[in-house]
Chain A
Amino acid sequence: MLALGPIAFASPWILLALALLPILWRILRVIPPAPRQLRFPAIRLLYDLRQQEQTPAKTPWWLILLRVILATLIILGLAHPLLNPSGRLPGSGPMVVVVDDGWAAARDWPQRQRTLADLVDRAERDQRPVFLVTTSAQTGETPARATGPLRAAEARGAAQALLPKPWGTNRKATLAAVERLPIQGSAHAMWLADGLDDPDAKALAERLQRFGSLTVIQDGPRALPRVLRPPERRAGDLVAVAERVDPSGEERRWVRALGTDGRLIAREPLVFADGENRATSRFNLPTELRNDIARLDIEDETTTGAVVLLDERWRRRPVGIVSTTGFDASQPLLDAHHYLDRALSPFSEVRRGGATDLLKRELAVLALPDVGQMAPNDRDAVDSWLKDGGVVLRFAGPLLAGGGDDLVPVRLRRGDRALGGALSWAKPLPLAQFDPGSPFHGLSVPPDVLVSRQVLAEPALDLGDKTWARLVDGTPIVTAEKRGQGWLILVHTTSNAEWSNLALSGLFVEMLQRIVGLSRGIAGSSGDAALPPLETLDAFGRRSAPPPGVLSLPRGGVDATVGPHVPPGYYGNDLARVALNMSSDLKALAPLDRLPSGVLHGAYVGAREVDLRPWLMTAALLIGLADVLIGLALRGLLPIGQGAAAAMLALAVFVAVPRAEAQSFGQTPSFSQMPRAQVQRAPTSGADAFAMSAALQNKLAFVRTGNAQLDEVSRAGLQGLAGVLVRRTSVELIEPMAVDIEADELAFFPLIYWPITPEQPLPSSQAIGRLNIYLRNGGTILFDTRDQADIPTEVGGGGPGAQRLRQLVRGLEVPPLAPVPPDHVLTKAFYLLQDFPGRFAGGTVWVERREGSSEVSPVIIGSNDWAGAWAVGPNGRPLFAVVPGGEPQREMAFRFGVNLMMYALTGNYKADQVHVPAILERLGQ
């Protein structure tokens, strides 16, 4: 390795070849360039010319320079230059690369991967095998992995496939994996550390050092990731705590609150004061907005440690307390609402008011402290809200005991039961432990909670199922019933301290929390089912579908530890999801600084080593191509002058060779022997060919009926008509064309002649659709039944052609028809006509019945076999006799054809009254 500033050469001895360059220069100067090939007629005069100068023409100096540069580039490329070389690897033997690929590595993962790729490159140059050890387990796997020995190419592939994991490292397992490595002799270990300490870090470092030498690559504590802990709810606000490793210096960051759909809900500053490694940011938001927050993260942190997913536990549920009397501020301790208010406000938003007013806003729980009879409209509102999924929490009291309504889960006895009063032997009773089926299960019951008065439920078969809490003697104290999608809950005692001291206990708060928790969300997953992974986070804090191998979260496993089997993310289902955050059980971060002595240190920063060899070789190749092109140009084999050869130098680098050949086409002098590029036109498809032939000139068209004889007649007829039109009018027509209504595009023809034969096949629905489009867009079809029979308007009757016509046009958008009126444009478009004979005379011709319409009738129907009358043979003589009128009738048939074509081509402007005087004048003559 020869280092020259930022450039080093891996094979420096090849540079000796640079000494040959001057020799090359001399040789190139002496060798004459290849001659141009030139054809010349007067070559006889060139024979035996005295060549005054014996030295032949020299290669131009710039071409020699180009070739020397080419040689230089090749030599330099072979010498394998490296930009920002990283030097040789220390030590000898194989290289053990330990990569921390836990969540903390995600912060600058691309840099780590570059470093890793560099290491692999260096190992490749030194031809040392690589052992790759990762410290985090794969998804679903337990131990850390060690692979190797790998060749450089394999190691490069493995390194590129490496991704950080959204959980921590397991250096203990890594240590075990390193122990098992099949390494004899010494090796060099590289540890691409994430910079976080743990109890096994030192042991791992010591073990790695025993291989021979150890380099630990890590960034300083300032570059370590920040961690965002799950927020706490403090007095209605969300308070998020962030931590950093290095407490020095003030640092300002932002914490973002994002909704489920990723939109930004709030952004709060996060300020680490100097000397502090904790900082908090507080979100004070309206409840509706706050409940939308699905994710908190530190801006510009790219690890999953800076991401906290929120679930129902962080939602604030508004609780409405129905207060009909107003707040009695003078005696709050006697007030039925006071204890509820105090118990609920730490975790919910408490609102007061009438039931209807409260229900106007979003509400999770409606608390009714001792309401006897509700107003009917209030009752209906509460009932419907309840059935839609609300939770109604009622408390007993004197009013309810005095006579309640039916909005209670169980039937109540009138009156109440007093325990331990002056006239009773019974003592106030404590609560029994909660049944496993009760939502309160798991709460500890303090023995000093005593109930002295309560309302009693009527015994019923389902009373036991509806009971959530009992006194020790078994009387229900909390009953509940599911109504619709909501819960109706009754606490059989008061919400103040009047009937029991339950409201004074901590149990009251916990019970209320559970009840509030029932509302919307958590209630759906009250089963014991495990929570399947719904959406997981990767190490970069990005949401993704759960990878295979992720296990379900056991019920109540909200406190599960994030690991290879349970990555952070959402678990459960769409109704009830539980967020599992990596940072919730993360130990305090500490920098990795307790390393054994003798460890070499490295950092991720620094310019990446760039291998210049491919670039140099590419440049040499391009210059070589340019040289070839220039050589061709100098020999006159390229269609450019010699003067332009210099321009080719620049051009050839950018222009691909095929392009240059393409340029030569058409410019090649006639005497050149350059192979000409074949211009291959894409074969025109049949449809295109048809369109091309049909669109380029006006022409008549007839429908191919499948009857060859009839088609020939149609062709001859239209040919005859076209001849007449060309002779007599300014219409320019070429040979008529047969169209296949099933396949051909009709839009090119102003008029289509459709002779009807009884045996003609019915058109398909696609053909009908196309014909409809044609008619709608102004095309005209002349139907000719050719049977000399009048076509009656009624269904049935008529000749065979008419009957077939009726079948053929079924589905066609034929407008209402009428016989041609005497003032129709067809009678005066070119000639003045009153009847329209063809080979036969007298048949009625039908056109669209529309008065004052400015459009051409889309269909014209007749039976006179016009094509037969128009048909002329190749010798110009008519093919068929016309009856009964003879040649004058044929002339009239031609005139009809002319009128028809004029009508189809020019529309009915002749109907304009402007022309009436002229027409009248001619009529008068």
Chain B
Amino acid sequence: MAVTERLQHRAEQLAAALPPLLVASERVAATIAQGVHGRRRVGLGETFWQFRRYQPGDPVRMIDWRQSAKTQAVFVRETEWEAAQSIWLWRDASPSMHYRSRKDLQDKSEHADMLVLALASLLIAAGENVALLGTGHLPTSGRMAYNRFCHAVLAEVTETEGLPAIELLPRHGHVVWVGDLLAPLDDIKARMAAYVSRGVHGHLVQVLDPAEETLPFKGRIRFQGLEGEAPTLIGRTDTVREEYAERMTTHQAGLKDLARIFGWSYAVHRTDRPPQTALLALYMALARIAGS
């Protein structure tokens, strides 16, 4: 009785601490989970996948006798492939993520957190092992793993660097980086290379505010960075808009090239779009790579 009470108490505490972000990410994850199922591949697992004609060489114990008895042919039962992957998620917690250009938008960091949490929720529901990169946790699965992940994400950590630290991960692990990825391309490349050299697959999700793509400002503006960069004064911001957009496109193209070179995936998410889209794309990419 006392144990149950304590547990209940903790559960309540946890529920009370559950911020709206967590709820939102759960909701986002739920919409995705309805659309995507499993690995969609034949493999080792519990879940029934398909019946197939018996072919010579198949183990006899794979034959589904009940199904075979219904028809003339002999069928074997195949189950869905259900191998657990270890996936390290990372989201940018640097000050530059705390930005929104309009009041009706959310901060970039909120979107990044939501994406990471929802993805973790999905992955854990699918039986994968998940850990937050940079915490030193080992990827684990199950409800408790999700709780731990939530705590890690929601802990007030402020990184100064917009890129994940280099960590020694096991081979064939997966990493998902969610951030604005505005660091110089060379830095990003070096960091990615460090991971790729260990055989780690990766996915880049660039979270951007619409203003960062379009630079919608006008007039004389003194721009100040969020991470202590030197300010710069631009006399007529509207005149440099195109050039800026060009630079941004170049940067994004560079990222895309990097991803292609290293065999990673790359997606852009803008904070004025619903996170479901990005999550779906990310999840599909994960499923594809994991399946390959």
Chain A positions within 8 Å of B, measured between CB atoms, are: 32-47, 49-57, 634, 636, 642, 667, 669-671
Q: Does B23 contact A (CB under 8 A)?
A: no
B219 engages A46 (CB within 8 Å): no
Q: How far is the CB of A641 from chain B (nearest CB, A)?
A: 10
Contacts A46-B240, A46-B244; A56 near B235 (Cβ below 8 A)? yes
Contacts A49-B234, A52-B239; A41 near B225 (Cβ below 8 A)? yes
Q: Point out the residue from A38, A43, A52, A55 that lies within 8 Å of B217, measured CB to CB.
A: A38
Contacts A51-B240, A634-B219 given; 5 further ones with Cβ under 8 A?
A: A38-B223, A40-B224, A46-B244, A53-B239, A670-B98
A-B contact pairs, 27 of them (CB 8 A): A33-B220, A36-B221, A38-B224, A39-B99, A39-B225, A40-B211, A41-B96, A41-B209, A42-B248, A43-B223, A44-B225, A45-B182, A45-B247, A46-B234, A46-B244, A49-B234, A49-B240, A49-B244, A51-B235, A53-B235, A53-B236, A54-B235, A57-B236, A667-B103, A669-B103, A670-B107, A671-B98
Q: Does B46 contact A (CB under 8 A)?
A: no
Q: Does B229 contact A (CB under 8 A)?
A: yes
B184 engages A44 (CB within 8 Å): yes
Residues of B220-266 contacting chain A, CB below 8 A: 220-227, 229, 231-236, 239-240, 243-244, 247-248, 251
Contact-residue size bin, chain B (C-beta under 8 Å from the other chain):
35 or more
Contacts A57-B219, A669-B100; A44 near B229 (Cβ below 8 A)? yes
- A875 (CB) vs chain B CBs: closest residue: B2
- The complex places the Cα of A776 from the Cα of B219 at a distance, in Å, of 73
**Binary contact readout B74-113 vs A (1 if CB under 8 angstroms, 0 otherwise):** 0000000000000000000000111110010001100000
- The complex places the Cα of A44 from the Cα of B224 at a distance, in Å, of 10
A45 engages B100 (CB within 8 Å): no
Q: How far is the CB of B225 from chain A (nearest CB, A)?
A: 4
8 closest A-B pairs by beta carbon, nearest first, are A56-B235, A41-B96, A43-B225, A35-B222, A35-B220, A57-B220, A49-B240, A42-B212
B234 engages A41 (CB within 8 Å): no
B240 engages A45 (CB within 8 Å): no
Q: Does B218 contact A (CB under 8 A)?
A: yes
Main SS of chain A's interface residues? loop
- B237 (CB) vs chain A CBs: closest residue: A57
Among A39, A42, A50, A54, the most chain B Cβ lie within 10 Å of the Cβ of A42
B222 engages A37 (CB within 8 Å): yes
- The complex places the Cα of A54 from the Cα of B234 at a distance, in Å, of 10
- The complex places the Cα of A38 from the Cα of B224 at a distance, in Å, of 6
Residues in A with CB closer than 8 Å to B184 are 44
Chain B positions within 8 Å of A, measured between CB atoms, are: 96-100, 103, 107-108, 180, 182, 184, 209, 211-212, 217-227, 229, 231-236, 239-240, 243-244, 247-248, 251
- The complex places the Cα of A46 from the Cα of B107 at a distance, in Å, of 21
- The complex places the Cα of A642 from the Cα of B211 at a distance, in Å, of 16
Contacts A45-B247, A45-B251, A669-B103; A36 near B232 (Cβ below 8 A)? no
Residues in A with CB closer than 8 Å to B223 are 38-40, 43, 46
A40 engages B225 (CB within 8 Å): yes
- The complex places the Cα of A35 from the Cα of B96 at a distance, in Å, of 22
Q: How far is the CB of A29 from chain B (nearest CB, A)?
A: 14
Q: How far is the CB of A110 from chain B (nearest CB, A)?
A: 56
- The complex places the Cα of A642 from the Cα of B226 at a distance, in Å, of 22
Residues in A with CB closer than 8 Å to B234 are 46, 49, 51
- A639 (CB) vs chain B CBs: closest residue: B103
Residues in B with CB closer than 8 Å to A642 are 218-219
Residues in B with CB closer than 8 Å to A33 are 219-220
Residues in A with CB closer than 8 Å to B219 are 33, 35-36, 57, 634, 642
Q: Point out the residue from B107, B224, B240 that lies within 8 Å of A37, measured CB to CB.
A: B224
- The complex places the Cα of A623 from the Cα of B192 at a distance, in Å, of 58
Residues in B with CB closer than 8 Å to A40 are 99, 211-212, 223-226
Residues in A with CB closer than 8 Å to B218 are 57, 642
Residues in A with CB closer than 8 Å to B107 are 670
- The complex places the Cα of A55 from the Cα of B229 at a distance, in Å, of 26
- B238 (CB) vs chain A CBs: closest residue: A57
- The complex places the Cα of A667 from the Cα of B102 at a distance, in Å, of 11
- The complex places the Cα of A56 from the Cα of B218 at a distance, in Å, of 12
- B218 (CB) vs chain A CBs: closest residue: A642
Q: How far is the CB of A348 from chain B (nearest CB, A)?
A: 92
- B243 (CB) vs chain A CBs: closest residue: A49
Among A35, A669, A670, the most chain B Cβ lie within 10 Å of the Cβ of A35
Q: How far is the CB of A630 from chain B (nearest CB, A)?
A: 13
Q: How far is the CB of A307 from chain B (nearest CB, A)?
A: 71
- A54 (CB) vs chain B CBs: closest residue: B235
- The complex places the Cα of A50 from the Cα of B239 at a distance, in Å, of 10
- The complex places the Cα of A457 from the Cα of B157 at a distance, in Å, of 126
Residues in B with CB closer than 8 Å to A55 are 235
Q: How far is the CB of B153 from chain A (nearest CB, A)?
A: 19
Among A37, A41, A50, A57, the most chain B Cβ lie within 10 Å of the Cβ of A41
- The complex places the Cα of A56 from the Cα of B240 at a distance, in Å, of 12
- A671 (CB) vs chain B CBs: closest residue: B99
Q: How far is the CB of B107 from chain A (nearest CB, A)?
A: 7
Q: How far is the CB of A95 from chain B (nearest CB, A)?
A: 58
- The complex places the Cα of A44 from the Cα of B96 at a distance, in Å, of 12
Residues in A with CB closer than 8 Å to B221 are 35-38, 636
Among A33, A45, A50, A636, the most chain B Cβ lie within 10 Å of the Cβ of A45
Residues in B with CB closer than 8 Å to A634 are 219
B243 engages A50 (CB within 8 Å): yes
- The complex places the Cα of A27 from the Cα of B40 at a distance, in Å, of 73
- A669 (CB) vs chain B CBs: closest residue: B103
Q: Point out the residue from A42, A43, A670 that lies within 8 Å of B224, measured CB to CB.
A: A43
Q: How far is the CB of B181 from chain A (nearest CB, A)?
A: 10
B182 engages A44 (CB within 8 Å): yes
Contacts A39-B225, A49-B243; A32 near B220 (Cβ below 8 A)? yes
